[in-house]
Structures are given as C-alpha cells and as structure tokens.
Amino acid sequence: MLRFLSAQPTLNLWLIFLLENLAVTALALLFGWIILRLNHNAIKQPSRNEIGICLLTNVINTAITYAGFWLWQQGYIVMNFTINWFIVIDFVALFMLMDLAMFIFHYAIHHSVVYKAIHRFHHHYTDPTPIDLFVLHPIETVGFGSLWLITIASLSFNFYSVLIYLTVNVFFGIMGHLGIEPFPHSIRRVIPFRYLGTSTFHHNHHLNIHYNYGFYTTIWDKIFKTYKG
C-alpha cells in the first residue's frame, strides 16, 4: 500500500487521503447512530453549520495525513513493519503517551484565553452527538493534528500499532460524543472499564468543563484531581 502511495503524484495523494478521511468519518457516524438507534434514542439531525465544519475538519485532517506521509517519506517519521508481539507493546505505549499528551493539551486549552477564543466552539452543546466529534475550531484541529505528528515523529512505532491506535482513537471519540451511556453501571465499575474514558466520563466534561480532561482513560484526571464520575 505504501509503495502504491509513494508512486502517486501529489494531487492523487490529496484525493486519496481526502476520500480516506471522509470514509472514516462516515463509518464513525454510522457506528454512533447505530448505537443510538439500538438504545432507542432519538437521532438529532445535524445543522448545516455542523455539516460544514465537519467537512472542513476532514479537509484539515487530509492535510495532516499528507504531512505525515511526507514526513515518513523524508525519514522524519520512522516505523517498522514487522508483525510480532511488539505491535501490542507499541500500541499500549502510543495509547498512553497520546492520552497524556492530549490531557495536557486539553487542560491547557481550558485554563487559558484559548478556551473562549477557540475550544468553546466545541462545547456549544452540553449534550453532544456523534458529529460533534468532528465539529472543532479549525485551529484546534490543526493543534491536535500537530500533536499527533510530533508524537509519532519523536519515537519509532510499529506501523500496525499506529493503524490500531487510529481505529481505537475514532472509537473512543464517537463513544465520548454519543450523549448517552450504552454500558450499564455494573460494567463500568469493573477493571478495566473503571479506568477508561466512557461516554459518561466525556459527557460529564461537556456538562462541567472543569473536570474530565482525559480522552482514553481516567488515570490522569484521577492523578491531577480533575476527575468527576
């Protein structure tokens, strides 16, 4: 696949990466809406503004994807393609590292003028819906994308662990923006669910912006006393 991409002219790469991002978005929204339907919840129709911002987010993510591919071609991002148990180790390391990095980034946004200028846009609704995962201020989308590129350029990760992480990232994003909790309290109390960022965990952040800054886990919020169950 990477050989095929490397042989493509720049315009083709942009088109391929755009279609890839649009496909991921469509599948993510479909997954979220299916969960809402299975839980007998009403599905709010997105506004034209939400759809427009969602499409803009996809364009920006396309640029970030292209930047990542270019950095790999130039040797700034180094990955190995060996299929072994280190895929799991690399995934866990990437998962926890990005969780910490995004917690810090998210916390910093909320405790600076950046929140009122940029991030408050994402908190327009206290009850999020799946499309709100992609309704971000363009500057914030660039910020998260840059954080991602810096992370994978700083260390060498397995290519397949990166693919797994990106899939898990979208899953957590959609689950956090369902506006409902599909898992019963009895399940959320047991390990490892009590340490994961469930729908309730992120929904509580939308209800009260002073708590629950984590993305994938509750670990950093519990350590820094910003956790609210």
- Whether residue 190 lies inside any domain: the answer is yes
- Whether residue 43 lies inside any domain: the answer is yes
- Whether residue 79 lies inside any domain: the answer is yes
Q: Is 80 exceeded by the pLDDT of residue 42? A: no
- Whether residue 228 lies inside any domain: the answer is no
In this prediction, what percent of the chain has a pLDDT beyond 90? 55
Count the helices and strands in the chain (H runs, E runs). Answer: 10, 2
- What pLDDT was estimated at residue 206? 78
- Whether residue 192 lies inside any domain: the answer is yes
Q: Which amino acid is at 76?
A: Y
Residues forming a β-bridge with 79: 157
Assign residue 225 a region: left if phi > 0, alpha if psi is -120 to 50, beta otherwise? left
Task: Indicate the pLDDT class of residue 161, thresholds 50, 70 and 90.
Answer: very high
Q: Is 80 exceeded by the pLDDT of residue 186? A: no
CA gap 102, 116 in Å, rounded = 19
How far, CA to CA in Å, does 184 sit from each of 171, 173, 175? 18, 19, 14
- Whether residue 179 lies inside any domain: the answer is yes
Q: Contact 128/212 with Cβ under 8 angstroms?
A: no
For range 82-90, the mean pLDDT: 92
- What pLDDT was estimated at residue 125? 62
- What pLDDT was estimated at residue 136? 87
**The domain containing residue 195 runs over which residues?**
2-223
Please give the tally of structural domains in the chain. 1
- Collapsing DSSP to helix, strand or coil, 217 comes out as strand
Task: Indicate the pLDDT class of residue 97, thresholds 50, 70 and 90.
Answer: very high
Average pLDDT over the chain reads: 89
How far, CA to CA in Å, does 206 sit from each of 112, 129, 132, 153? 17, 11, 11, 31
